[in-house]
């Protein structure tokens, strides 16, 4: 089995064994992951069961108090808000990404250049994306209000990011702008595996573009499409940057999600116990998604 | 071949695919004859194009608009005069200049460290078979699925205990760790493409493990190392939440620095913020362009060797 078994020379004295060598190779990376990912994760989750604050030293056992407190205190709203953002920020980029991938998969003059140009929103740092949309949605001088007022669609400027009925939509639009290019690229890659002959055969049998999409194209790209949707869903479920900068969870907490709520609980409320309890519930839900993802990718591998 | 890990490497690691797609035109073009809904293509590209490029246009134009015209109503889609004053003032602002140098310093160190740590790890995953290998690979892969906001809570406490808050070390350590999964996966792909015969030949010539790795394997994987380094650079450059919390005012990088400097003031200086945003975006775009070429090179080289 060992790739190198056949070539392994007789061990010279003083020379590192293969096991020793591999251990040394893995050591720095594993040490970092243990110290910066695994230990903090477990400790965060454990703090759900303790009364712990950033303000004062000392830790006392809390049992399930933190978890019941968190569940009683608007947990349903938080889950609902997180899901709205996650679903919206997954579906809209997927639709746009798919439509654009199908369009740019055709060869026409400039299609290659456009593939590159459409990537720009995805390349920009998350904070820059947030700044840009904050300015577009600005209550007084934002270009969106300006254009809508001029067109007569609205009578007075709207504070898009500060009204409960528009803030979510605004966030989803900003995130959609940022993430559809990645989906487009992934789907374009999948589209290239679709054999052209099948399309020609289907076309000769008289299938129109829509029939051809569902009969020929979709079966070839559905695996990648499923993975893309799952990954986007997982990422959006923990997204922080855009929400934190654009609305900070407001107005009146209507756009707060697990990510901003855990952050605020820990760093504005200084309450590590509650933050840990929220995190424990959050991780539980996330693990379900990750398990689905692993199953999904294993199944895709077998085909 | 491991079962699941090849699929996520394609999926969670967008750039090789991006490069493959963008470089696709280099392959022989086949002429296909079939009916295409041209009007549908045109409308799709036009609508998505408007959604994509109108905000970008507004970003650029705002950064070039004189302050007096920014608050004009109706908004001037085509400014009467343009100015580069905002770019000058951004660079002249000592606070922003500080964020910029912090960003460069932290991202470069992160890139170098990430490459060193991840190349060893990737080699151990690619060319050796041992018990626990798959479990370790799952662990590395899954570590990028944990929510950063949650890890941050304890990381803050731990860094505080070790006196690392408000230091470059805190940023470099956390950025490097969160870049590892992606870099390891990228580099594992590069090592997988190198034939095992190379290692066997080096061994027969009497080279030890380290010598084989450093003199034979790593030079051949150089494009991969560069790509992984650029990736890590971009990750460090773009990070917001860790720099916001762990860096303090002195060591803050551009993303949280700009938020603290511009957002929340009575009247945000939008043109200057847009100029600063564009400056922040430039290194990322350059890195991507460079990354794309290396990756396309790596992929075509692999294809030629078959």
| pLDDT over 90 percentage in chain B | 51
A112 and chain B: CB distance < 8 Å anywhere?
yes
**What is the ipTM score, two decimals?**
0.88
Q: Of A158, A157, A162, give the one whose Cα is nearest residue A246.
A: A162
Lowest mean pLDDT among A268-282, B100-114, B146-160, B254-268: B254-268
Is residue B1 included in any domain, yes or no?
Answer: no
Q: Is the pLDDT of residue B296 over 60?
A: no
B222 in the same domain as B110: yes
What local confidence, expressed as pLDDT, does residue B31 receive? Answer: 47
- Is residue B17 included in any domain, yes or no? no
Residues B109 and B229 reside in one and the same domain: yes
Segment B87-91 shows an average pLDDT of 93
User: Which 8-state DSSP code applies to residue B79?
Assistant: -
Full-model pTM: 0.87
CATH number at residue B141: 1.10.3720.10
CB contacts, 8 Å: B77 with chain A: 143
Domain count, chain B: 2
Tell me the C-alpha distance between B139 and B292, whole Å.
28
pLDDT at B297 > cutoff 90: no
Percent of chain A with pLDDT over 90: 52
Out of B150, B156, B174, whose CB is closest to A262? B150
Does residue B223 lie within any of the structural domains? yes
Distance of CA B102 to the CA centre of its chain: 17
- For chain B, the average pLDDT equals 83
Contact at CB, A99 and B208, closer than 8 angstroms: no
Could you say which of B54, B82, B110 is where a domain stops?
Answer: B82
The reply to whether residue B149 touches residue A29, judged by beta carbons under 8 angstroms, is no
Nearest-by-Cβ selection for A37 from B73, B177, B237 = B177
Name which of B51, B55, B149 is nearest A263 (Cβ-Cβ). B149
Place of tokens 């910066």: A36
Q: Are residues B69 and B163 in the same domain?
A: no
What would the two tokens of residue A219 be? 């079966």
B114 touches chain A (CB under 8 A): no
B99 and B78 part of one domain = no
Distance, in Å, from the CA atom of B238 to the CA atom of B232, rounded to the nearest integer, reads 10
**Is B16 part of a structural domain of the chain?**
no
CA A209 → CA A172, A176, A264, B32, distances in Å?
Answer: 30, 27, 50, 15
B70 and B112, same domain (yes or no): no
Quick: pLDDT tens for A107-128: 888 888 898 899 999 999 999 9
Does residue B60 share a domain with residue B171? no
pLDDT band at residue B266, thresholds of 50, 70 and 90? low
Judge if B140 and B217 occupy the same domain: yes
CB atoms B18 and A119 under 8 Å: yes
Domain limits for position B67 = 43-82
Answer yes or no: is pLDDT of B25 > 80: no
Task: Note the residue count of chain A.
Answer: 303
Q: Does B290 touch chain A (CB under 8 A)?
A: no
Q: Are residues B178 and B70 in the same domain?
A: no
* Residue B137, min C-alpha distance to chain A (Å): 11
How many percent of chain B have pLDDT more than 70?
Answer: 83
At B2, phi and psi to the nearest 5? -75, 160
- Confidence band for B34, pLDDT divided at 50, 70 and 90: low
- Asked if B56 and B170 sit in the same domain, the reply is no
| Residue B154 domain-assigned (yes or no) | yes
Confidence of residue A13 (pLDDT cuts 50, 70, 90): low
Asked, for residue B197, whether it belongs to a domain, the answer is yes
* For testing contact with chain A, the best of B3, B12, B18 (most A CBs within 10 A): B18
Looking at B57, B82, B107, which one is the last position of a domain? B82
Asked, for residue B6, whether it belongs to a domain, the answer is no
Report residue B70 as tokens.
């920014």
**Co-location of B123 and B150 in the same domain:** yes
Judgement on whether residues B211 and B243 belong to the same structural domain of the protein: yes
Residue B36 lies in a domain: no
Tell me which chain B residue has its CA closest to the CA of residue A20: B209
- Same domain, residue pair B229 and B286: yes
């Amino acid at each position: 089995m060992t790739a190198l078994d056949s070539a392994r020379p007789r061990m010279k004295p003083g020379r590192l064994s293969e096991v020793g060598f591999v251990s040394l190779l893995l050591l720095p990376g594993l040490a970092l992951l243990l110290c910066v990912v695994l230990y903090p994760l477990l400790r965060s989750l454990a703090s759900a069961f303790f009364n712990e604050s950033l303000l004062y030293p000392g830790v006392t056992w809390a049992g399930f108090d933190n978890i019941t407190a968190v569940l009683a205190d608007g947990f349903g709203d938080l889950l609902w808000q997180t899901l709205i953002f996650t679903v919206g920020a997954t579906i809209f980029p997927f639709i746009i990404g798919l439509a654009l991938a199908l369009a740019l998969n055709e060869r026409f003059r400039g299609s290659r250049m456009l593939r590159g140009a459409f990537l720009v929103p995805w390349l920009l740092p998350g904070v820059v994306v947030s700044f840009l949309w904050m300015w577009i949605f600005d209550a007084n001088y934002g270009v969106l209000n300006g254009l809508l007022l001029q067109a007569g669609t609205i009578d007075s400027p709207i504070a898009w990011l500060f009204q409960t009925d528009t803030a979510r939509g605004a966030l989803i639009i900003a995130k959609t702008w940022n993430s559809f290019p990645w989906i487009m690229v992934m789907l374009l890659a999948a589209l290239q595996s679709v054999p052209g002959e099948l399309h020609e055969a289907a076309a000769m049998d008289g299938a129109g573009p829509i029939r051809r999409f569902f009969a020929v194209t979709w079966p070839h790209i559905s695996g990648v499409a499923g993975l893309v949707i799952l990954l986007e869903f997982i990422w959006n479920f923990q997204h922080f940057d855009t929400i934190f900068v654009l609305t900070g969870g407001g107005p009146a907490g209507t756009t707060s999600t697990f990510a901003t709520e855990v952050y605020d609980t820990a760093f504005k409320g200084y309450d590590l116990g509650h933050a840990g309890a929220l995190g424990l519930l959050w991780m539980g839900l996330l693990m379900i998604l990750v398990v689905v993802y692993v199953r999904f990718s294993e199944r895709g591998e077998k085909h | 071949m491991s079962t699941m890990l090849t699929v996520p490497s394609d999926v969670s690691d967008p750039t090789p695919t991006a490069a493959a797609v963008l470089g696709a035109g280099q392959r022989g073009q086949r002429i296909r004859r079939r009916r295409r809904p041209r009007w549908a293509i045109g409308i799709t590209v036009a609508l998505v194009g408007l959604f994509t490029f109108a905000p970008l246009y507004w970003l650029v134009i705002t950064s070039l608009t004189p302050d007096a015209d920014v608050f004009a109503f109706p908004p001037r889609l085509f400014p009467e005069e343009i100015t580069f004053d905002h770019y000058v003032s951004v660079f002249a602002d000592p606070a922003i200049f500080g964020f910029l140098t912090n960003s460069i310093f932290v991202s470069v160190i992160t890139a170098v460290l990430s490459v060193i740590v991840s190349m060893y790890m990737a080699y151990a995953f690619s060319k050796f078979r041992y018990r626990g290998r798959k479990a370790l690979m799952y662990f590395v892969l899954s570590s990028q699925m944990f929510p950063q906001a949650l890890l941050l809570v304890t990381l803050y406490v731990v860094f505080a205990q070790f006196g690392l808050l408000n230091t470059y070390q805190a940023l470099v350590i956390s950025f490097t760790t969160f870049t590892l999964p992606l870099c390891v996966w990228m580099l594992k792909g590069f090592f997988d493409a190198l034939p095992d015969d190379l290692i066997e030949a080096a061994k027969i010539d009497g080279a030890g493990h380290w010598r084989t790795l450093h003199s034979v394997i790593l030079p051949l994987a150089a494009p991969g190392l560069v790509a992984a380094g650029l990736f890590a650079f971009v990750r460090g450059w773009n990070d917001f939440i860790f720099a916001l919390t762990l860096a303090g005012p002195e060591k803050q990088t551009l993303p949280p620095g700009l938020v603290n400097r511009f957002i929340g003031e009575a009247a945000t200086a939008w043109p200057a913020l847009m100029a600063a945003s564009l400056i922040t975006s430039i290194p990322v775009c350059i890195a991507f362009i460079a990354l794309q070429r290396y990756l396309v090179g790596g992929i075509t080289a692999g294809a030629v060797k078959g």
